[in-house]
A and B are shown apart, each in its own frame.
Chain A
Amino acid sequence: MNTVRIDEAGTAKDRPILEIKDLAITFTTSAGEFKAVKNAHLSIMPGETVAIVGESGSGKSTTALAAIGLLPGNGRVTGGQILLDGEDIAHASEKRMIELRGSHIGMVPQDPMSNLNPVWKIGYQVRETLKANGRPDGPDDVARVLAEAGLPDAHRRARQYPHEFSGGMRQRALIAIGLSCSPKLLIADEPTSALDVTVQRKILDHLDKMTTELGTSVLLITHDLGLAAERADKVVVMYQGNVVEAGPSLELLQNPQHPYTRRLVESAPSLASRRIQSAKEQGVEAEDLLAPAAEGTSRDEVLQVRNLRKIYKLRQGLGKSSDFAAVDDVSFSVRRGTTTAIVGESGSGKSTVAKMVLQLEAPTEGQIIFDGVDTAGLKGRELFTFRRRVQPIFQDPYGSLDPMYNIYRTIEEPLRIHKIGNAASREKKVRELLEQVALPQSTMQRYPNELSGGQRQRVAIARALALDPEVIICDEAVSALDVLVQAQVLNLLTELQGRLGLTYLFITHDLAVVRQIADHVCVMEKGKLVETGTTDDVFEAPQQEYTMALLNAIPGASLMLPPAVA
């Protein structure tokens, strides 16, 4: 091995800026040794963008953290090499790593909400980085760095605190910090997964532009195959700590070889929209393909929402308050046995609509008519019956199950509350429900903390189904799941709809998911309904600028894959 130090001499053009060979990383936990990364290898040429794709727990973030020498205290490199411009940094001293960080390797972390120190001004945090790397750190330098990251009015912004920034602006500030010392390599760990799609697109576009100008190589870590393929020259697929496939992005998508990659390509929602279109071209109606309504179900309107409005009072000092319309004049109706999706970015009021339909919040104005009855007047007994017929599934699979209840008690609870059957018949019902959501019977004795996110979500579905409801309201029900698990849950939901004639109201920010599951779409922006229509109409001929912006922002949407592959 040749240990070439990085000097002012510059980088040879034909040598990779980062090369990882046979990397193995082991974590020491109270339960013993755990091999998070078993065999990872990749190389990034100067100016190139390489994406690592994999599900949570595949070792993709760990590999990247090892490259910048920031493994958690209980993790260590147990094999292989990490060559940064020819120098092996897998076991480099902390002193050397501090020299390299910032100036040679920059990092954009995942969560813009928690990665800026809330007690320091943005400018101070940028200056800190410049100072640590011996760069000029005057106010003008700070403003220049921020302006380059696309923050307008940078001088003023530098004097603000993180809480005054939106999520997208914070991520820009983090990108500014990551690129402030023009590193040769930038590690971007899920840089936009916490952001709305339209913001995500802007940020990634800007990141592209900046790194191209600076000639920086980018190691992009993402769980989204579509995004990886769109943004990266090469894609590296990781699975269970191993690199299972690597190659040029398009080729890898068009010709996936490893069964895991094939599985990923098949279930990536951002690519699935293509899949449905290609199916349509072959004469298959998307609606038949995806949401077959149960035979004989009358297609009446089970849920009607009329002129719904929700005003929140915002307190502004003593005795003063201003009105904030979270939901403003929203009307739509849902036919029995179909799926209606409400799409919008954060703050669009879509979840407030769901809460009002579920009778968890009272509307300020307007009506919600369920099966011909205005729900506003429901009290006591009637409300109890209504609860039985309309069930929710929530976003966070880690929060929606009581950690103190085992799975049996969780699913049995609604039956017990509604006094259905006796102990024996309830147990039988729980077993049936578990079977319906494809979980083994042995799950009954387990507790939520032993299950993965997807399994918990399936338990939540079983609980929602326990009372044989007619309408299920899914509030971002699959947003927190890995793509493969997401596809699995979506398939389950579709299958259950076909079998039980369920009606879904699907709240989501993810248009790709909408395309997969919904018959009708309502697009919301800032509390208002901007567009409604059948999924096909909205996707193929969006009428509103906002809808178009949303559609264009789906990562991978611009990739044209031949139908045979997709």
Chain B
Amino acid sequence: MSNNNHFVAPVEETPLQATDSLKTDQAPLSLWADAWRKLRRRPLFIVSSLMILFLLFVAFFPGVFTSVDPGSCQLSNSEAGPRPGHPFGFTLQGCDVFARVIHGTQASLAVGVLSVICVLVIGVTLGALAGYYGGWLDAVLARLGDIFFALPLILGALVITQLPLFRENKSVWTVVFVISMLAWPQMARITRGAVIEVRNADFVTAARSLGVSRFGALVRHVLPNALAPVIVLATLELGVFIVAEATLSFLGIGLPPGVMSWGNDISSANASIRTTPSILLYPAGALSITVLSFIMLGDAVRDALDPKSRQR
């Protein structure tokens, strides 16, 4: 092309297309369908979800894996090594370690899942209301959250569980209650932030001017669009809560000794750590693997729901 020439490309090279024509070659994709499509190709997601499915199976059907009663302990077996039928050996009290690890899954998962549900209900409700309505409601709820936020989990749990009401009724539910009480502000903060980001979006204004009520717009448009970070946090927190339960049980203020849990087992294995460390290793290993799978799942979900990676 020289300086003053008027260059025209042959039309055949770049055939003219209809202005702004719709691409119809791909299947429609919602946010969730898109996320699922991305997730199912991620090894991280596949591995972690298989592990979680396996853990759930163990929790619901412990009988499939062991027929030994974890509660029937014979002191004659105290700290005995592995032998056929008892692959992990015995505790100080002579209980079968394998059976206790298997049966402990239930309590750990139950505390994790129930706490996350409670935290979601409290945190999302308060966070969404605070973020959406703002004003004095926001101020009050934010300060309330700060009060709980300032309490370290363990310290707060120590104080709450020493209350007579809790001391005398230790159960899975008290642990769930204590964890939820102290952990909801985190969820509320994340929800509040996400809701504030979405509440000024044009589509919310559009919905309002269509006649949707203020609360209706929150439920129909704002919350569904603010859920992604909440879901990510929930998966990550599931792991954290399982650890919290183990910590509380280890300190003797969590689940009552009668309930089979990894935390209780780790606690009682403390006594024999110098002689037979394997008693400690097995429940601790189970705990680590469980927490790791939930954190891996959380990471995978976060990547899949990242709005920046959405097309266009």
- Hey, which bits of chain A sit against chain B, CB under 8 A? 39, 41-43, 45, 239-240, 242-248, 251-252, 255, 257-260, 263, 358-360, 384, 387-388, 390-392, 394-396, 398-404, 406, 413-414, 417-418, 439-440, 442-443, 445-447, 449-452, 454-455, 460, 463, 467, 484-485, 488
A246 & B6 in contact (Cβ 8 Å cutoff): yes
With A447-B28, A484-B19 known as contacts, the answer to whether A243 contacts B9 (CB < 8 A) is yes
A417 & B210 in contact (Cβ 8 Å cutoff): yes
What residues of B have a CB within 8 angstroms of the CB of A258 in the complex?
A: 8-9, 11
Query: How many Å from the CB of A446 to the closest CB on chain B?
Result: 4
Cα distance, A245 to B31, chains bound together (Å): 40
Cα distance, A451 to B22, chains bound together (Å): 7
16 more contacts with CB within 8 A, not counting A439-B22, A450-B29, are: A239-B14, A242-B13, A244-B9, A244-B14, A247-B6, A258-B11, A260-B14, A391-B210, A400-B203, A402-B224, A413-B210, A417-B216, A442-B22, A450-B311, A454-B20, A467-B210
What count of chain B residues pass the 8 Å CB interface test?
42
B211 within 8 A of A: yes
Q: Write the chain B residue with the least CB distance to A400.
A: B202
B208 within 8 A of A: yes
What residues of B have a CB within 8 angstroms of the CB of A414 in the complex?
A: 210-211
What residues of A have a CB within 8 angstroms of the CB of B29 in the complex?
A: 447, 449-450
B67 within 8 A of A: no
Cα distance, A358 to B210, chains bound together (Å): 10
Cα distance, A451 to B5, chains bound together (Å): 39
Within 8 A of A (CB), among B192-242: 201-203, 205-212, 216, 221, 224-225
* Cβ-defined partner of A403 (8 Å) among B1, B24, B225: B225
A260 & B16 in contact (Cβ 8 Å cutoff): yes
What residues of B have a CB within 8 angstroms of the CB of A406 in the complex?
A: 28, 30
What residues of A have a CB within 8 angstroms of the CB of B212 in the complex?
A: 413, 417
B72 within 8 A of A: no
With A446-B28, A463-B210 known as contacts, the answer to whether A399 contacts B202 (CB < 8 A) is yes
What residues of B have a CB within 8 angstroms of the CB of A449 in the complex?
A: 29, 31, 34, 310-312
Pairs A–B under 8 Å by Cβ, sample size 7: A244-B8, A258-B9, A388-B211, A391-B209, A394-B202, A404-B224, A450-B23
A248 & B6 in contact (Cβ 8 Å cutoff): yes
* Cβ-defined partner of B20 (8 Å) among A240, A391, A463, A488: A488
B3 within 8 A of A: yes
B6 & A251 in contact (Cβ 8 Å cutoff): yes
With A360-B205, A450-B28, A484-B19 known as contacts, the answer to whether A42 contacts B1 (CB < 8 A) is yes
* Cβ-defined partner of B203 (8 Å) among A239, A402, A417: A402
Cα distance, A259 to B14, chains bound together (Å): 10
* Cβ-defined partner of B22 (8 Å) among A246, A384, A404, A455: A455
A259 & B202 in contact (Cβ 8 Å cutoff): no
Cα distance, A280 to B224, chains bound together (Å): 52
With A244-B14, A452-B20 known as contacts, the answer to whether A447 contacts B30 (CB < 8 A) is yes
B54 within 8 A of A: no
* Cβ-defined partner of B16 (8 Å) among A41, A263, A488: A263
Q: Write the chain A residue with the least CB distance to B312.
A: A449
Closest 5 CB pairs of A and B: A247-B6, A399-B202, A400-B202, A387-B211, A257-B8
What residues of A have a CB within 8 angstroms of the CB of B30 in the complex?
A: 404, 406, 447
A360 & B211 in contact (Cβ 8 Å cutoff): no
What residues of B have a CB within 8 angstroms of the CB of A239 in the complex?
A: 14
B275 within 8 A of A: no
Cα distance, A212 to B85, chains bound together (Å): 91
Query: How many Å from the CB of B257 to the closest CB on chain A?
Result: 47
B7 & A404 in contact (Cβ 8 Å cutoff): no
Contact with A along B297-312 (1 / 0, CB 8 A): 0000000000000111
B9 & A259 in contact (Cβ 8 Å cutoff): no
What residues of B have a CB within 8 angstroms of the CB of A467 in the complex?
A: 210
A447 & B31 in contact (Cβ 8 Å cutoff): yes
Cα distance, A404 to B217, chains bound together (Å): 13
Q: Write the chain A residue with the least CB distance to B310.
A: A449
Q: Write the chain B residue with the least CB distance to A395.
A: B202
What residues of B have a CB within 8 angstroms of the CB of A358 in the complex?
A: 209
What residues of B have a CB within 8 angstroms of the CB of A246 in the complex?
A: 1, 6-7
B211 & A455 in contact (Cβ 8 Å cutoff): no
A252 & B9 in contact (Cβ 8 Å cutoff): no
B20 & A455 in contact (Cβ 8 Å cutoff): yes
Within 8 A of A (CB), among B1-45: 1, 3-9, 11, 13-14, 16-17, 19-20, 22-24, 26, 28-31, 34
What residues of A have a CB within 8 angstroms of the CB of B206 in the complex?
A: 392, 394, 400-401, 460, 463
Cα distance, A463 to B221, chains bound together (Å): 15
Cα distance, A459 to B1, chains bound together (Å): 43
Query: How many Å from the CB of B312 to the closest CB on chain A?
Result: 6
Query: How many Å from the CB of A437 to the closest CB on chain B?
Result: 12
Cα distance, A259 to B11, chains bound together (Å): 8
Query: How many Å from the CB of A252 to the closest CB on chain B?
Result: 7
Cα distance, A484 to B8, chains bound together (Å): 20
B28 & A417 in contact (Cβ 8 Å cutoff): no
Query: How many Å from the CB of B144 to the closest CB on chain A?
Result: 25
B11 & A485 in contact (Cβ 8 Å cutoff): no
Cα distance, A359 to B3, chains bound together (Å): 58
Q: Write the chain A residue with the least CB distance to B3.
A: A45
Cα distance, A39 to B5, chains bound together (Å): 18
B22 & A443 in contact (Cβ 8 Å cutoff): yes
Query: How many Å from the CB of B17 to the closest CB on chain A?
Result: 8
A41 & B19 in contact (Cβ 8 Å cutoff): no
Most chain-A Cβ atoms within 10 A of its Cβ — which of B7, B11, B24, B207? B7
Q: Write the chain A residue with the least CB distance to B212.
A: A417
Cα distance, A488 to B210, chains bound together (Å): 25
A402 & B225 in contact (Cβ 8 Å cutoff): yes
With A440-B22, A451-B22, A484-B20 known as contacts, the answer to whether A360 contacts B208 (CB < 8 A) is yes
Query: How many Å from the CB of A478 to the closest CB on chain B?
Result: 12
Cα distance, A414 to B31, chains bound together (Å): 22
Most chain-A Cβ atoms within 10 A of its Cβ — which of B16, B20, B208? B20
What residues of B have a CB within 8 angstroms of the CB of A259 in the complex?
A: 11, 16
A245 & B202 in contact (Cβ 8 Å cutoff): no
What residues of A have a CB within 8 angstroms of the CB of B17 in the complex?
A: 240
What residues of A have a CB within 8 angstroms of the CB of B16 in the complex?
A: 259-260, 263
A360 & B20 in contact (Cβ 8 Å cutoff): no
Query: How many Å from the CB of B215 to the closest CB on chain A?
Result: 13
Query: How many Å from the CB of B228 to the closest CB on chain A?
Result: 10
Cα distance, A167 to B221, chains bound together (Å): 33
Q: Write the chain A residue with the least CB distance to B7.
A: A246
What residues of B have a CB within 8 angstroms of the CB of A45 in the complex?
A: 3
What residues of A have a CB within 8 angstroms of the CB of B208 in the complex?
A: 360
What residues of B have a CB within 8 angstroms of the CB of A245 in the complex?
A: 6-9
Most chain-B Cβ atoms within 10 A of its Cβ — which of A251, A252, A404, A406? A404
Query: How many Å from the CB of A208 to the closest CB on chain B?
Result: 20
Query: How many Å from the CB of B207 to the closest CB on chain A?
Result: 7
Cα distance, A384 to B310, chains bound together (Å): 35
What residues of B have a CB within 8 angstroms of the CB of A263 in the complex?
A: 16, 19
Cα distance, A3 to B307, chains bound together (Å): 45
Query: How many Å from the CB of A419 to the closest CB on chain B?
Result: 10
B205 & A401 in contact (Cβ 8 Å cutoff): no
Cα distance, A460 to B211, chains bound together (Å): 15
A394 & B205 in contact (Cβ 8 Å cutoff): yes
Q: Write the chain A residue with the least CB distance to B311.
A: A449
What residues of A have a CB within 8 angstroms of the CB of B28 in the complex?
A: 406, 445-447, 450
